[in-house]
Amino acid sequence: MLPVVIVGGGPVGLTLAALLGQQGIPATVIEADEGYCTGSRAICISRRSLEILGWAGIDRPVLDKGLGWTEGRSFYGTREVLRFRMPSEPGDRFPPMVNIQQYYVEQHAHEAALRAGATVEWSTRLVGLHRHADHVEVEIQGAGGPPRPLRAAWVVACDGGRSTVRDLLDLRLEGVQYDGRYVIVDIEQETTRPVERLAWFDPPSNPGSTILMHRQPDNVWRIDYQLRDDEDPEEAVRPEQVLPRVRSHLEMIGETAPWKPLWISVYNAKCLTLGGYRHGRVLFAGDAAHLVPIFGVRGLNSGLDDAGNLAWKLARVLDGRAGEDLLDSYSEERLAAARENIAYGAKSTEFMAPPSFAFRLMRDAALRLALEDAAVRSLINPRQSVPVRYPAAPGLGADPDAARLGAAAAPGLPAPDAPIASTEGHKHLSELFGRGFVLLRFGTSEIPFPPAPDGVTVLTLLPPGASPCPGCPADVEGQARQRYGALSGAAWLIRPDGYVLARWAEPDPSAVAAVLERHLGTAAHTLLRETA
């Protein structure tokens, strides 16, 4: 019997396969298409997603190919009404966002999955699925071949917005689908413009429309523009309709180099989710679980966060180190994240593509006011994707010293990154996350602690100016202490997906063991109590 079958070989499914392989679990991936996607799909990879890709060993190729950016501008007509800058400091491991075509991410994730021991079957469709108490039977069919059965302990549906797994289980997404439509166009054109998010409301080039532009690698522009309510979407994607609009806008902004179209499609915003992401031994991730609008780039980024959350939990269930209820926390946490992403995405959608005359009236009034009043400009902010805080759940409530440690790096939040010096060659704290649990302690020298159970690394972060030693990286610029709000001797227990599980001003081994027990079983509890 196979441990895991992943249905869907897009970026989420392939990244999940790579992360499971890093945890010692070989996954089998089936994908209906014959290879990587074509055309314009997801293009913006967030800093958090780059950390997750880094656990699979593919952050560097994505960075090398992609175009990093920090800023964005919005215009009303031709006048600038907003310039925003996402948090970024010198020495950060990753920029806030990197633009790269989805097919490059799929290629690198595929290569990482194969290196990690996964099997990937292209041109293979799911045609049947039957759940049992201790396994799942699936039927798959390759190109031109007969159906054949597979038995798996678990199935993960990563098969996108038109999920076959959802259909076979008769599950339905719930929420809102907006009527407004956008044409998406990729063109090839050389440019010297900086890499930034660009948006125009009611530009002279396309009156009444909203236009977005992002630079991509290979001299590609991604252009999204809104259709009027009276336009037929099928007619609107014909080249004779699209190319004059693109030409008009390029001329308006002074981009006069020769260009050619590469891809044209149409899109409408959806704010939809399943009511839960675990259905027996079938789990859902990415667009199969939830659909969020493109505004704020939460689609692929939320799917990669699903993979980061699920991989370590599923691995621990499969190797017997945790009970199946750990997977319920995957559903609870990522459903809460999806609802937050949908809420922000809905606000962005209603501003970018007003769903009614009243919304448009208020939107245009805000834009006019923003020309003169800086206080109004926050309404125009596109609310770019940021990691969410997970709700309190079993194992996420160990925060007895919250009053002393403050709001920074609290349980349920992603563990902050910071530059470090390490004898192992690590340059950033986040490089130490992604595999097992990390008990991060802030001290002036190596602090003795009982032997940690398998899967837990105890690290002491030394202050600026200290020389690192094995297991004791140095906080070279003091950013870690600042971002964690750390007191000397304080400790943070960080999950394999880089989220804070618990923290203490003065950690006691028994308290640490009690939190770990849920995730590593009673052996961890016993070991730490006996050696305390």
Give me the residues paired with residue 472 across strands.
469
Contact criterion met (CB below 8 Å) for 163 and 288:
yes
Summarised one tens digit per residue, pLDDT across range 341-400 is 888 888 888 888 787 888 888 888 888 888 888 877 777 776 666 778 887 654 455 788
Axis crossing angle, helix 102-115 with helix 11-22, rounded to the nearest 10: 30
pLDDT at 383: 66
The pLDDT of residue 526 is 40
Contact 224, 215 (CB under 8 A): no
Residue 359: both structure tokens together:
């919304």
Residue 490 token pair:
């304080």
Tokens 């618990």, located at residue: 502
pLDDT in tens, 402-415: 999 998 899 999 99
- Neighbour tally for 60: CB within 10 Å: 12
Convert 367-393 into a string of H (helix), E (strand) and C (coil). HHHHCCCHHHHHHHCCCCCCCCCCCCC
> What's the angle, vertex CA 307, arms to CA 197 and CA 409, rounded to 5?
75
What pLDDT shows up at residue 530? Answer: 36
The angle at the Cα of 434, spanning 336 to 288, to the nearest 5 degrees, equals 40
**Any idea what the Cα angle at residue 58 is, between residues 277 and 322, rounded to 5°?**
40
pLDDT digits (tens, 9 = 90+) for 196-234: 999 999 999 999 889 999 999 999 999 999 888 788 888
Map residue 73 onto helix, strand or coil.
Answer: strand
Q: Which of 484, 459, 489 is nearest to 473 (CA)?
A: 459
Range in 115-119, 283-287, 408-412 the model is least confident about: 408-412
* Residue 115 DSSP SS3: helix
Distance, C-alpha 28 to centroid of its chain: 22
Task: Give which of 135, 131, 113, 130 is closest to 122, Cα–Cα.
Answer: 113
Q: Using the 8-state DSSP alphabet, how is residue 487 labeled?
A: P
DSSP state of 8: -
Taking only the tens place, the pLDDT of each residue in 442-495 is: 987 666 666 666 678 888 999 998 888 888 899 998 999 999 998 888 999 999
Cβ atoms of 512 and 437 within 8 Å: the answer is no
Q: What is the 3-state secondary structure (H, E, C) of 449-481?
A: CCCCCCCEEEEEEECCCCCCECCECECCCCHHH
Q: Is the dihedral of CA 282, 23, 96, 337 positive or negative?
A: positive
Give, in order, the Cα–Cα distances in Å from 237 to each of 100, 179, 226, 234.
23, 16, 12, 6
**Chain-wide mean pLDDT for the chain?**
89
Angstrom distance (rounded) from CA 121 to CA 132: 24
67-69, strands of its sheet edge to edge: 44-46, 97-99, 67-69
Distance spanning both ends of the chain, measured CA to CA: 41
Q: What is the DSSP letter of 446?
A: P
Q: CB-side exposure of 119: number of CA atoms within 13 Å? A: 9
In the predicted model, is pLDDT for residue 525 greater than 80? no
298-328 tens-digit pLDDT:
889 999 999 999 999 999 999 988 889 899 9
State the DSSP code for 353: S
pLDDT number for residue 487: 85
* Whole-angstrom distance, CA of residue 272 vs CA of residue 288: 10
Contact call for residues 212 and 199 (beta carbons, < 8 A)? yes
Instruction: Round to whole Å and give the CA distance between 180 and 367.
Output: 20
In angstroms, the CA 527 to CA 532 distance is: 9
Q: Determine if the pTM surpasses 0.85.
A: yes
The number of beta carbons lying within 10 Å of the beta carbon of residue 24 is 12
* pLDDT recorded at residue 236: 87
The reported pLDDT for the residue numbered 522 is 44
From 415, 360, 351, 359, select the one nearest 383 (Cα to Cα): 351
Q: Which of the 8 DSSP states describes residue 288? A: G
Mean pLDDT of 159-166: 96
Per-residue pLDDT tens digits for 144-157: 889 999 999 999 99
User: 81: closest CA among 195, 210, 207, 186?
Assistant: 210
Q: What's the token pair of residue 518?
A: 């849920």
Strands (E), 143-299: 148-157, 174-189, 197-201, 210-216, 220-226, 259-273, 278-279, 282-284, 290-291
Residue (of 117, 484, 103, 452) closest to 300 by Cα position: 103
pLDDT of 173 reads: 96
For residues 490 and 506, the answer to whether their CB atoms sit within 8 Å is yes
Contact 121, 142 (CB under 8 A): yes
Least Cα distance to 528 among 518, 514, 480 occurs for 514
Separation between Cα atoms, residue 91 and residue 418, nearest integer Å: 8
Domains along the chain with CATH numbers: 2-67+93-173+271-351 (3.50.50.60), 402-531 (3.40.30.120)
CB 54 within 8 A of CB 70: no
The pLDDT > 70 percentage for the chain reads: 93
**Which whole number is the average pLDDT over 31-53?**
92
